[in-house]
């Protein structure tokens, strides 16, 4: 998953101009945050191998606003990388 957009354009302006903007959605962002917090919560962990993500996403959309609620659980094996000579 890539959180970097391909174009740095205002979404409303992009829609008006017909430009496609690759922006992350709420579920993508919630997954990245959950993965970061999972790694951060384990002392000496540098990464999680084969993360398994369970996400529950609800959207409330109307023409003016869009609300997305995401509940994400991450499971996997945390690993730590030891420097040479340690």
Residue 79: CB atoms within 10 Å? 14
The CA–CA distances, whole Å, from 13 to 9, 59, 64, 72 equal 7, 23, 16, 31
Angle at 40 between CA 36 and CA 44, to 5 degrees: 130
Residue 71 host element (H or E): strand 66-79
| 5 lies in some domain | no
Domain extent, residue 36, equals: 25-79
Distance CA 19, CA 9 (A): 9
Looking at the 3D structure of the chain, how many domains does it have? 1
Tell me, what's the pLDDT at 1?
36
| 14 lies in some domain | no
Residue 51 exposed, middle or buried by CB count within 10 Å (0-12, 13-18, 19+): middle
| 3 lies in some domain | no
Which of the two residues, 9 and 44, has the higher pLDDT score?
44
In this predicted model, what pLDDT tens digit does every residue of 16-70 receive, in sequence order?
666 666 667 777 888 888 899 989 998 888 989 998 988 887 877 777 777 778 8
| 17 lies in some domain | no
Tell me, what's the pLDDT at 69?
80
């Amino acid at each position: 998953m890539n959180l970097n957009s391909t174009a740095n354009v205002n979404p409303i302006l992009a829609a008006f101009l017909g430009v496609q903007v690759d922006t992350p959605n709420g579920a993508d962002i919630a997954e990245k945050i959950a993965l970061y917090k999972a790694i951060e919560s384990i002392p000496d962990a540098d990464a999680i191998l084969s993360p398994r993500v369970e996400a529950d996403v609800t959207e409330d959309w109307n023409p003016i606003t869009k609300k997305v609620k995401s509940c994400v659980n991450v499971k996997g094996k945390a690993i730590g990388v030891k420097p040479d000579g340690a």
